[in-house]
Amino acid sequence: MNRILEKKTLAKNIVEFVVEAPRVAAKAQPGHFVIAMADEHGERIPLTVADFDRQRGTITLVLMVVGSSSMKIARLEAGQDLYAFLGPLGHASELDIEGTIVMVAGGVGTAPVYPIARAFHERGNRVIAIQGSRTKDLLFWMDKLRAVSHEHIVCTDDGTFGRKALVTEPLREILQRDGRKIGRVYAIGPTIMMKVCADVTREFNTPTTVSLNTIMVDGTGMCGGCRVKVGDETLFTCVDGPEFDGLKVDWPLLMSRQKVYHEQEKCSLDRYLKEAGVR
């Protein structure tokens, strides 16, 4: 039931999988995530649901290779099975919001942004999508995101495609232009990108939601590795999130905690590459 039906390379180190998972597909909602394992010795990897097809019984995932465990999954091919596939987990996105929705997608954050943008679009909200990447070669799903947006803005840091700008530049312009019409800003991508987006929206007192999926480890609330301070509360991303109020997240603490396992991750990747004969 965890068979990979389709595999596609979207960009360098970014892979799309369509997985046969009818039970998960039947319950999945925008904002949910799943836990996947490549083999019985693999690490539990939390991945946001990028799309779901209830009729076909499939879940679409987008994976960026950053370490040994994600590399193990990325090296699987269509026709092979994932050792484990658990979900849907976490709280679904809040969709009962009026007004214009601004979706800010940074890099691989395009994948979790897409189903949320589609849900708001289907609900009748005006959707403005800002899609950013370091360079043209890392952009993907532009057509999909454009199809569920009333306005679609693409930025690259180096200017190789679309507008040469950080995503915060058009975000600020939209807030200045449409301020009172904006019901919510969703920012999903690298931690620093979400932080600076929240810095901008705070100036306009605009409700802001961020997804902190990347800090999760175990994914079920048992390890405590995904602790995040939101306002005066200490919460767990996997069971209380993965979406939180971006204006209340303690960003400096979050970014410092993301470095805790850096050395172990590097050692694990080096060992895996050596054993796999890649290096």
Reported as a single tens digit per residue, the pLDDT across 246-276 is 999 999 988 887 665 556 566 665 565 666 6
Evaluate if residue 134 carries a pLDDT over 90.
yes
pTM reported for the whole predicted model: 0.91
Q: What is the pLDDT of residue 61?
A: 97
CB under 8 A, 24+ apart: contacts of 18-24: 18/58, 18/59, 18/60, 19/58, 19/59, 19/60, 19/61, 19/82, 19/85, 20/57, 20/58, 21/57, 21/58, 21/59, 21/85, 21/87, 22/57, 22/58, 24/52, 24/59, 24/85, 24/87, 24/88
Domain coordinates of the chain in residue numbers? Answer: 4-89, 100-211
Quickly name the fold that domain 100-211 has: Rossmann fold (3.40.50)
Average pLDDT on 58-86 reads 92
For the chain, report the end-to-end CA distance as a whole number of angstroms. 33
Quickly name the fold that domain 4-89 has: Elongation Factor Tu (Ef-tu); domain 3 (2.40.30)
Q: What is the mean pLDDT of the chain?
A: 90
For 139-198, write each residue's pLDDT tens digit: 999 999 999 999 999 999 999 999 999 999 999 999 999 878 999 999 999 999 999 999
Q: What is the pLDDT of residue 135?
A: 95
For 12-46, write each residue's pLDDT tens digit: 999 999 999 999 999 999 999 999 999 888 788 88
Q: What is the pLDDT of residue 44?
A: 86
